[in-house]
Chain A
């Protein structure tokens, strides 16, 4: 019998540790790969209460000590965490009977561990570039940013293939790191629409009442409160929207811009219209995404925009800024509304368009859900990823490392 493909996935986040989009991405990708017969070993950072080793839906999950080294700053912490991750992953990989065939790293956060494991075990390294320092900071300016950028470049240099989640990111990574075209492959993110389907009916009133008055429409933002996500554009659009419709702005997530945003809200006297909800339990968040009257993704830089996919899968009409991966996910006037990035006036127009016409909203909802089903199913993503692994391995089999 042919032995199954053994993949070691490196990610700094994996549920229940959720910081951004990498965690759900790695979770669903690994699970879907397991469903099509790939043996996946995820090595990730510890989380309070989560076991050091467990098997979830056929995926082996190892959580390593990530905080045992004191660190002067975030970047140093990342490299120290990688030191531990590499050491533990090497221990695990050395014990696996059938041997790891491929190492798959996600972003620079696990760069050095991935590069180290590649050379120690002489197996191909693949990387998924979810985002770049150049994009996140709109250029690299400080010493830390330059260091991170160079670490990303090194990771793509060492990788056999660089996977990106949108055509936009393929072009971006190619430019930022000067990569040859045949090194890049595009595999869009998937979304799990089942979690929204399984929400019981009849809870809408109860959930809405937790966040808004009965007469208020719910305008939902889910994401980190950081510059590149453009949340300040939404806050600045709020008064314009409120001139036309009665709405409540619910902002889920946290980040360094929180205080600043709250000051803006206060200066506009809109404290009663904008709710900073912080992090929410998954159970509540999924329902909120389903019942929101409109979901906003106002990003200035967006490699993919998984939160737009989630909204579409949940059945909430979306307004997105026409940039990056969002431009590819949403078709204007069909599966959502696209607005000009960095333009509160345009964003307000899009939100009002959806909130003031229920029929239009329903039409968008229906089309968006159909697109999700057709294009963004995780199983299709897993099949495509497995194909990439196999093609890399067939090239590898002709190399002197094999």
Chain B
């Protein structure tokens, strides 16, 4: 099995806990014979790197340097994420089993790749725009929520770390409950569950 992980945080770029989580998860996947590519962003450490752990990382930067918001920065950055992901997909002769995307940031790239190559998406939710913005409803927040919605709609599976986030997703976005899986926040059991989900999704996609 080969997976692409899209995350806007990855060491050395740490904003919250996600960076270290992705680092550990990707190492765990490789140890369990899952070929793992982490696609992330960094302003100058760009390019493809084979980590000693066996994880392949690709860091991209935004060719547009001036922005009016975090939103425009993310939306344009997605093209670079899509570009390097497509390169890997072609190099691996379309053997990528799934794309695991963290939060809303790289949903746009994931969705286009899904449509073009029929690669399933596992959308892992750390938090929702409603949590981060205290339910603000400005057009800016609504734009981000509409990207979250797109992710929930297109994802083959959604993973969350608590029952309360699951409830919020079903309440706010009307996502069917069976589409959402709770994965424990304890990393060891979490990784195991993630691997099981990957196997199910990857085998399901092969049957189609």
Contacts and interface: CB of A to CB of B under 8 A. Distances in A.
Q: Is the interface of A mostly helix, strand, loop or mixed?
A: helix
Contacts of B82: 116, 119-120
Given A91-B115, A119-B87, A150-B64, A72 B78 contact: no
Interface residues of B, number: 35
Contacts of A112: 75-76, 78-79
Given A120-B116, A122-B86, A147-B64, A72 B79 contact: no
Contact of A76 (B71, B109, B112): B71
Interface string A115-127: 1100111100000
Q: Is the interface of B mostly helix, strand, loop or mixed?
A: helix
Interface string A41-80: 0000000000000000000000000001111110110011
A27 interface: no
Indicate the size class of the contact surface on chain A.
Answer: 20 to 34
A116 B143 contact: no
A68 B150 CA distance: 11
Interface stretch (A82-90, A188-196, A217-225): A82-90
B146 interface: yes
B139 A90 contact: no
B67 A147 contact: yes
Given A76-B69, A146-B66, A83 B78 contact: yes
Contact of B64 (A68, A91, A151): A151
A143 B113 CA distance: 31
B143 A69 contact: yes
Interface in B76-126: 76, 78-79, 82-83, 86-87, 90, 108-109, 111-113, 115-118
Contacts of A72: 69, 71, 138-140, 143
Interface string B135-171: 0001110110011001000000000000000000000
Nearest to B64: A150
Contacts of B47: none
A154 B143 contact: no
Interface string A146-162: 11001100100100000
Interface string B59-72: 00001111111011
Nearest to A121: B116
A352 interface: no
Contacts of B140: 72, 76
A154 to B, nearest CB: 5
A270 interface: no
A44 B113 CA distance: 20
A384 B31 CA distance: 56
B83 A119 contact: yes
B64 A90 contact: no
Contacts of A121: 116
A87 B112 CA distance: 5
Contacts of A154: 63-64
A150 B115 contact: no
A90 B154 CA distance: 14
Contacts of B112: 86-87, 90, 116, 120
Contact of A94 (B69, B109, B116): B116
17 contacts: A70-B146, A71-B143, A72-B140, A72-B143, A76-B68, A79-B76, A80-B75, A87-B111, A94-B117, A116-B78, A116-B79, A116-B109, A122-B86, A122-B90, A147-B66, A147-B68, A151-B64
Given A72-B69, A76-B69, A79-B71, 9 more contacts: A69-B142, A71-B139, A75-B72, A76-B71, A76-B75, A112-B79, A116-B83, A120-B113, A147-B72
Closest 5 CB pairs of A and B: A70-B142, A146-B66, A79-B75, A119-B83, A69-B146
